[in-house]
Structure formats: structure tokens, C-alpha cells
Amino acid sequence: MNFMEKARPIGVFDSGIGGLTVVKRVAAALPNESIIYFGDTARVPYGPKSNNTVIEYGLEAASFLIDKKVKAIVVACNTVSSVAIPEIRKHFNVPVIEMIEPGVNAAIRASASKRIGVIGTLATINNAAYSKSILNKNPNAFVIEKACPLFVPLVEEGWIDHKVTELIAQEYLAALIEKEIDTLILGCTHYPVLTNVIKKIVGDKVTLVDSGVAAADTVRSELNRMGMETNSNGMGMIEFYVSDLPTTFSKVAQIFLEKEIREVIRVDLEVIQRLKEKIVG
């Protein structure tokens, strides 16, 4: 890979705003790399949608990023990661880093008892993406999964340390605590924002695994392995694209990124759909 190619940005996409928790981790792990982020805010949430729809949306987002000449794609959305990775890898000739495998590896490393809990959206849990991968790597592990669909709107509403969120978390997490897990995978972009509430409920003895942290590590090691790291010593730039109102995105972004975003560009879904037709068919 030549100097110019190495200077290309890393593409990151998500169903909406939650992927910014992953951007935060990738930017911290690779501060010199530039990032192009696409959030499909017009069609979020993906969690309750069918696999075919999620695959189609994933291919569209990846096409948009490829058109922006990214050198690698990070599928920051756990829902897309749980159903669309084979399709995305089939059509795009750049490294594709997803959330499931890095999260699973980190959880297996962290868990002494191999009793692992997984929380995610309905699609992620219904597809059993995490549990299949854990059991594939360690058939003796015990895995309990739970969909927590209300966490996404609660976080987007900014109800982070709210008593309602705590009550709902208690309800969702009761069955996992009962099964004496020692490790819990936060298998959704939004859940790291609720780390304090979740910790309070599951207690100190349960290790929380943030798939975004694990995926950022994988991005770094993949770029390194393939000789694709930028040669630049300057801070990387981050560009943000969304499919709906940029102002709403900017307002909520701070919850996830923990810093202000100045410019957000809106892209028409029709443009993205045409790119997908051109690149994927």
C-alpha cells in the first residue's frame, strides 16, 4: 500500500448515532487516522427490523463509505454485525471489522467461570450471533442472552442516570444475575453509555465487556498486520454524515462521543441507494 492509500480514512457506520461510542474508541486507539462516519438516522432503529432489511441497509452504508475511498470499514452496529457481515465482505474489497468476534474474544479472555451474559437489540439476540460465536470457540461455556430494546430510546432521550432506566435495567438483568454470570457483553452501541447503571445492578464481580473497545483494538491490529496504518503524525480528521436532520444528530452526539461536533452533513438516501446499485447491484 502506498503513502496516499495509507492516508485514506477509515469508514465507520451505524444505524444512527450509537456508533459514535465506537468512533470514540477507534479515534482514541488510532489518533492519527482520519475517520468518515455514516449514521443512518433516517431509518434507525435497525434492532426490530428483518435480517433482509438490515443486510440491504448495511450494503448501502458500506457502498457510501467505499465511494468515499475508505481503506477499511468498521461496522459499528451490532445489529448489522450480527446478520450482514458475510454479504458485506463478499461485495467489498477492504478489511471489514465487525463487533461480534472482538467482543466475544474479549469476554472469553475476561471470564473465569465461562458463564457469560449478552445483551443487545432484538435482532442481535434473535440471531444469537454472540452465543453462537462464544459456543463455537468454547463449547463448555454457558451463555445467557437478553434483548434490552428499551435501552436505545432511553439513552437517546438522555435518561442515563435516571430512576426509570435503573428500574428497567433491573427487570432486564434479573435473569442474567440469577444465572451467576461473571462477564456481561454490552452487545449494542448504546449500552456503554449505561455502564454506571448496569454496574450498579450486576455488581462489581461481573466484568462488563464493551464490544466497541474490543473492536477498536481489532481495527488497530488489522491495519498494522496489513501495513495500512497512516504515516501521518498529525491528528486525524473526523467527518460525519447522516441520512436525516443533522441538527438532531449534533445535539445528541455529545452523549456518545463526549465532545462537540461542529459539522454534520446530510446525505440523501436516494444517493446512497444509487451507489449501492452501482457498486453491489
Instruction: Report how far apart the first and last C-alpha atoms of the chain are (Å, whole number).
Output: 28
- Determine the residue with CB nearest ligand DGL: 47
State in angstroms the smallest separation of the CB of 152 from ligand DGL: 5
State in angstroms the smallest separation of the CB of 189 from ligand DGL: 4
C-beta atoms surrounding 261 within 10 Å: 18
- Closer by beta carbon to ligand DGL, 13 or else 228: 13
- Closer by beta carbon to ligand DGL, 9 or else 120: 120
- Closer by beta carbon to ligand DGL, 30 or else 125: 125
- Closer by beta carbon to ligand DGL, 8 or else 190: 190
State in angstroms the smallest separation of the CB of 14 from ligand DGL: 5
Active-site residue list: 77, 188
State in angstroms the smallest separation of the CB of 121 from ligand DGL: 4
State in angstroms the smallest separation of the CB of 3 from ligand DGL: 34
- Closer by beta carbon to ligand DGL, 14 or else 33: 14
What residues make contact with ligand DGL under the rule CB under 6 A? 14-16, 18, 44-47, 77-79, 121, 124, 152, 188-190
